[in-house]
């Protein structure tokens, strides 16, 4: 249970931050509007990721889920930064 909790808290936070950066790059609005949208969506996304981690059978599977999402989101962020 502790492994799933750690995965949900730390991994979910990293996934949420990375996904909000994706949204920041995609939304074609003023900077203050993009930041407000990211702020409003960050916590519900973090909670959804935490629930998804707690639905796993063990901590390894929870870390694999968070790690996979984080790698995908980070790859998209790198594409936006370099492209």
Q: Which pairs count as long-range contacts for 27-36, CB under 8 Å and 24+ apart, including other chains? A: none
Place of tokens 């502790």: 2
Q: Kindly state the helix (H) or strand (E) to which residue 25 belongs, with its residue range.
A: helix 12-26
What was the pLDDT predicted at 1? 81
Domain locations in the chain as residue ranges: 2-82
Find out whether 36 and 23 touch, Cβ atoms under 8 Å.
no
Sorted by sequence, the CB contacts under 8 Å of residue 3 that are 6+ apart come out as: 58, 59, 60, 62, 63
Report the predicted TM-score, pTM, of the whole model to 2 decimal places.
Answer: 0.85
What pLDDT shows up at residue 74? 95
pLDDT per residue, tens digit, the chain (83 aa), is: 888 899 999 999 999 999 999 988 898 999 999 989 988 999 999 999 999 999 999 989 999 999 999 999 999 999 999 98
Please give the structure tokens belonging to residue 21.
């950066």
């Amino acid at each position: 249970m502790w492994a799933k909790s750690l995965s949900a808290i730390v991994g979910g936070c990293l996934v949420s931050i990375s996904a909000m950066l994706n949204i920041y790059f995609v939304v074609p609005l003023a900077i203050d509007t993009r930041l407000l949208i990211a702020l409003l969506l960050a916590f519900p996304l973090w909670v959804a990721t935490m629930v998804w981690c707690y639905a796993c059978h063990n901590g390894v599977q929870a870390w694999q889920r968070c790690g996979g999402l984080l790698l995908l989101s980070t790859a998209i962020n790198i594409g936006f930064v370099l492209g």
